Amino acid sequence: QVQLQVSGPGLVRPSETLSLTCTVSGASVRSPTHYWSWIRQSPGKGLEWIGYVYYTGSTNYNPSLKSRVTISVDLSTNQFSLNLSSMTTADTAVYFCARDLFSSGWKGLDSWGQGTLVTVSP
């Protein structure tokens, strides 16, 4: 059974960088058919796709966040991470990590972490 666990701070100061890690168990981040993704959810913006990383290190980001986002993968620890710089109150949201299936096309986020609330406040 695949499990994803998000870890990281719940409070970030404005202008700082958010760093979150997703630990994967029951599956390998080396899977050739899965992409490891970050999604956030806020009352104002709903669900927003942030981006993904592939086990090769290849990434794809939402253009609305691209200048501030870095997603990376660590094969040795079976983890992947999100860094979001220059945080503002607009970035307050629940952040989820998830696994995206690619098999002759994108088939959806089939496993999700529990989500972590990140609040941006002085």
Partner 1 sequence: IQMTQSPSSVSASVGDRVTITCRASQGISTWLVWYQQKPGEAPKLLVSTASSLQSGVPSRFSGGGSGTDFTLTISSLQPEDFATYFCQQTNMFPFTFGPGTKVDIK
- Integer Cα distance of 105 and 87 in angstroms: 33
Q: Are 54 and 35 in contact (CB under 8 A)?
A: yes
Q: Is 78 exposed, middle or buried (0-12, 13-18, 19+ CB in 10 A)?
A: middle
- Least distance in Å: CB of 17 to partner 1? 21
Give the total of residues touching partner 1 (CB under 8 A): 21
Q: Establish if 110 lies at the interface with partner 1 (CB under 8 A).
A: yes
Supply 17's token pair: 């960088």
Q: Which residues in the 63-82 window bind partner 1 by CB under 8 A?
A: 63-64
Q: Establish if 5 lies at the interface with partner 1 (CB under 8 A).
A: no
Q: Which residues in the 90-109 window bind partner 1 by CB under 8 A?
A: 96, 98, 101, 105-109
- Integer Cα distance of 109 and 33 in angstroms: 12
- For residue 15, the SS3 value is coil
Supply 36's token pair: 């490891």
Print the binding letters for residues 17-56 with partner 1: x by CB under 8 A, - otherwise: -----------------------------xxxx-------
Residues near partner 1 (CB under 8 A): 46-49, 60, 62-64, 96, 98, 101, 105-110, 112-115
